[in-house]
C-alpha cells in the first residue's frame, strides 16, 4: 500500500479556540521505501502565533504573512494523500487540525481521504510501555540521527517519522536469514561433516541460565504477546 507520512505545525494547541495550521509536510513511501515525492507548504493562518508554539517551531506571523492560505493548497493536499495509508505521530492532534481546516472550507473531514490511519505514538506506547515515546525519544531508541533538528519542522519531522516507522515495524523479512550459507560444514554429497574430536564444549552455568531466563521474560512483557518459545527449566 502507498503510505504518506504526515506532520503539521500550528499556531497553538486547540483548533476549537481558533488555532490554525501553519506548516504541513508529507513524504511518500511505497513498499516501505521513500520515494522522491514530498508535499510541503508554509501556510498563512491569518492570526497571531502563541508564544509557546513559536518557541517550538520558530515560525512567526511576519514570516507566514506572504505564504498561501490553506484554501490555496487544499486541492494539492487532497491529490497527494487520497487513498493512501496516512502515518502520523499523535494522530488525534494533527487530524483535529486538518479536519477543522477542511470544515472551514465546508469540505468532508480530511481523515476520510485515508484508506487507513496509523498512529505511531499509540503503537510506540504498546511496544514500550512506561517509556518516553516522543519522536525525539524514538529516534534515540532506534539510533536515528536527529542532531540537525533544533526546532520542529513539519517536513523534517515527517522524514524522521518515516525512518522511525520503518524501524518500529521491521519484521523478520528484513533479517538476512537468506544470506546464510547452509552448505558450510557439509561434504560434496550434502552430509554434515564429522566435528573435530578436540572441540572444547562450554556449558552454560546456572547464573547464565538465570540471566537468559530473565531476558526472555522481559522480552515477553515488552511484546505483550505469548512467546513462541517454551518456558525454560532453570536449575536451582
Which range is least confidently modeled, 3-7, 101-105, 197-201, 205-209?
A: 197-201
Query: Does pLDDT of 164 surpass 60?
Result: yes
Largest CA distance in the chain: 81
* Structure confidence at residue 211 (pLDDT): 82
State the catalytic residues: 152
Cα 216 to Cα 234: distance, rounded to the nearest angstrom: 12
* Structure confidence at residue 204 (pLDDT): 82
pLDDT confidence tier of residue 199, bands split at 50, 70 and 90:
low
Cα 66 to Cα 61: distance, rounded to the nearest angstrom: 9
Q: Which residue has the cell 488525534?
A: 92
Cα 220 to Cα 138: distance, rounded to the nearest angstrom: 20
Q: pLDDT for 69-125, tens place per residue?
A: 999 999 999 999 999 999 999 999 999 999 999 999 999 999 999 999 999 999 999
Q: pLDDT for 139-160, tens place per residue?
A: 999 999 887 665 678 999 999 9
pLDDT confidence tier of residue 209, bands split at 50, 70 and 90:
confident
DSSP assignment of the chain, as one string?
Answer: --EEEEEEEESSS-GGGT--EEEEEEEEEETTEEEEEEEEEE---SS---HHHHHHH---HHHHTTSPPHHHHHHHHHHHHTTSEEEETTHHHHHHHHHHHHHHTT---GGGG-SEEEEHHHHHHHHSTTS--SHHHHHHHTT---TT-SS--HHHHHHHHHHHHHHHT--GGGS-GGG--TTTTB-TTSPBPPPPTTPPP-PPPHHHHHHHHHHHHHHHHHHTS--SSPPPPPP-
The CATH number of domain 3-173, selected from 3.40.1180.10, 3.30.300.100, 3.40.50.11720, 3.30.420.10: 3.30.420.10
Which range is least confidently modeled, 80-89, 200-209, 215-224?
A: 215-224
The pTM for the full model equals 0.71
Mean pLDDT of the chain: 86
Distance, CA of 76 to chain centre:
24
HSE, side-chain direction, 13 A CA sphere, residue 210: 5
CB distance 19 to 36 below 8 Å: no
CB distance 40 to 76 below 8 Å: no
The residue among 197 and 4 whose pLDDT is bigger is 4
Amino acid at each position: 500500500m502507498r503510505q504518506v507520512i504526515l506532520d503539521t505545525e500550528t499556531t497553538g494547541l486547540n483548533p476549537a479556540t481558533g488555532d490554525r495550521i501553519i506548516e504541513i509536510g508529507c513524504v511518500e513511501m511505497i513498499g516501505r521505501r521513500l520515494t522522491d515525492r514530498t508535499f510541503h507548504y508554509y501556510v498563512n493562518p491569518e492570526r497571531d502565533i502563541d508564544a509557546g508554539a513559536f518557541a517550538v517551531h520558530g515560525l512567526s506571523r511576519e514570516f507566514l504573512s506572504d505564504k498561501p492560505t490553506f484554501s490555496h493548497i487544499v486541492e494539492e493536499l487532497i491529490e497527494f494523500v487520497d487513498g493512501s495509508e496516512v502515518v502520523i505521530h499523535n494522530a488525534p492532534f494533527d487530524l483535529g487540525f486538518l479536519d477543522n481546516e477542511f470544515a472551514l472550507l465546508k469540505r468532508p473531514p480530511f481523515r476520510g481521504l485515508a484508506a487507513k490511519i496509523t498512529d505511531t505514538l499509540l503503537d510506540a506506547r504498546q511496544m514500550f510501555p512506561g517509556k518516553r515515546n516522543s519522536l525525539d525519544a524514538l529516534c534515540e531508541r532506534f539510533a536515528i540521527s536527529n542532531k540537525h533538528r533544533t526546532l520542529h519542522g513539519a517536513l523534517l519531522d515527517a522524514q524522521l517519522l518515516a525512518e522511525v516507522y520503518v524501524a518500529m515495524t521491521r519484521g523478520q523479512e528484513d533479517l538476512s536469514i537468506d544470506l546464510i550459507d547452509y552448505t558450510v560444514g557439509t561434504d560434496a554429497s550434502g552430509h554434515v561433516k564429522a566435528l573435530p574430536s578436540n572441540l572444547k564444549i562450554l556449558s552454560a552455568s546456572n547464573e547464565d541460565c538465570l540471566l537468559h531466563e530473565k531476558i526472555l521474560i522481559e522480552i515477553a512483557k515488552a511484546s505483550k504477546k505469548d512467546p513462541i518459545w517454551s518456558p525454560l527449566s532453570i536449575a536451582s
